[in-house]
């Protein structure tokens, strides 16, 4: 119990420390505790330590553990950070408060329809394929202007841009590029930075960092 709380405090400290030279306020950075693969007993100590924003990457896994946890703590905010299949759009809209993986026209259509049906607008980050990697999800940079226009036309609220930089290389240039793209398109939110690089991301303007391993330890 002490462990989760002290790791949380250390990460909050690190965020505050890098905010200073970046002339940012720690309150402007949302720490998303990525709880994928971890069960309720592992999550509870973080809730007890005051953490209220959590991220999951699978709809079905989140459906299994979060309804009960949220009943006890209605102020919890749940973010979907993983790839979303269009046929899960209705379930995602029902369960999540924010979606970070809007990345293609078919999913946009499915989410807009699901939001209309549910009478609930869920803010979405548009995931950008920032390293132009064939195997990775995310909207190609060249298609971003048209895709953002389509999302606005479909009345899907845009929270900002999200990226997962290429592995095994310096992340900073990709974070800087995402920040520039967001500014070019008048978007404020920047979902970038994970356990290994959240401090760099905060220095480059991240408004949402997604941290799993550094909070929970390695995933089994």
Ligand X SMILES: *Cc1c(COP(=O)(O)O)cnc(C)c1O
Positions in the binding site for ligand X (CB under 6 A): 34, 36, 57, 81-82, 164, 194-195, 210-214
Element (H, E) at 89: helix 89-95
Residue with smaller CB distance to ligand X, 181 or 194: 194
Q: How far is the CB of 116 from ligand X (least distance, A)?
A: 27
Q: How far is the CB of 31 from ligand X (least distance, A)?
A: 11
Residue 121: other Cβ atoms inside 10 A = 14
Residue with smaller CB distance to ligand X, 118 or 192: 192
- Tell me the β-bridge partners of 102: 126
Residue with smaller CB distance to ligand X, 140 or 217: 217
Residue with smaller CB distance to ligand X, 78 or 214: 214
Are 185 and 178 spatial neighbours (Cβ–Cβ below 8 Å)?
Answer: no
Q: How far is the CB of 82 from ligand X (least distance, A)?
A: 5
Among all chains, which residue has been given the structure tokens 């259509």? 109
Are 160 and 135 spatial neighbours (Cβ–Cβ below 8 Å)?
Answer: no
CA atoms within 13 A on the CB side of 88: 18
**12 Cβ partners below 8 Å, 6+ apart?**
26, 31
Residue with smaller CB distance to ligand X, 101 or 108: 101
* Nearest residue to ligand X, scored by beta-carbon proximity: 212
Residue with smaller CB distance to ligand X, 110 or 194: 194
Cα–Cα distance measured from residue 197 to residue 157, given in angstroms and rounded to the nearest whole number: 27
Tokens of 55: 């991220």
Polymer length in residues for the chain? 220
Q: How far is the CB of 55 from ligand X (least distance, A)?
A: 7
Q: How far is the CB of 155 from ligand X (least distance, A)?
A: 25
Q: How far is the CB of 36 from ligand X (least distance, A)?
A: 6
Q: Is 207 helix (H, G, I), strand (E, B) or coil?
A: coil
Q: How far is the CB of 12 from ligand X (least distance, A)?
A: 15
Are 33 and 210 spatial neighbours (Cβ–Cβ below 8 Å)?
Answer: no
Tokens of 134: 């064939």
Residue with smaller CB distance to ligand X, 24 or 79: 79
């Amino acid at each position: 119990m002490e462990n989760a709380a002290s790791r949380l405090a250390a990460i909050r400290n690190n965020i505050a420390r890098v905010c200073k030279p970046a002339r940012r306020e720690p309150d402007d950075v949302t720490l998303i505790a990525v709880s994928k693969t971890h069960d309720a007993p592992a999550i509870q100590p973080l809730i007890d330590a005051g953490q209220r924003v959590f991220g999951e990457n699978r709809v079905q896994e989140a459906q299994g553990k979060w309804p009960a946890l949220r009943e006890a703590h209605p102020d919890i905010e749940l973010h979907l950070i993983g790839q979303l299949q269009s046929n899960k759009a209705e379930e995602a809209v029902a369960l999540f408060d924010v979606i970070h993986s809007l990345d293609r026209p078919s999913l946009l259509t499915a989410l807009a329809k699901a939001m209309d049906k549910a009478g609930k607008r869920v803010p979405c980050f548009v995931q950008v394929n920032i390293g132009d990697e064939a195997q990775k999800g995310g909207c190609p940079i060249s298609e971003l202007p048209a895709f953002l226009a389509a999302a606005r036309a479909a009345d899907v609220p845009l929270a900002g841009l999200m990226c997962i930089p290429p592995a095994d290389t310096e992340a900073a240039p990709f974070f800087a590029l995402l920040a520039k793209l967001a500014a070019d398109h008048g978007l404020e939110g920047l979902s970038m930075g994970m356990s290994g690089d959240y401090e760099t991301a905060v220095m480059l303007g991240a408004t949402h960092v997604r941290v799993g391993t550094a909070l929970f330890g390695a995933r089994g």
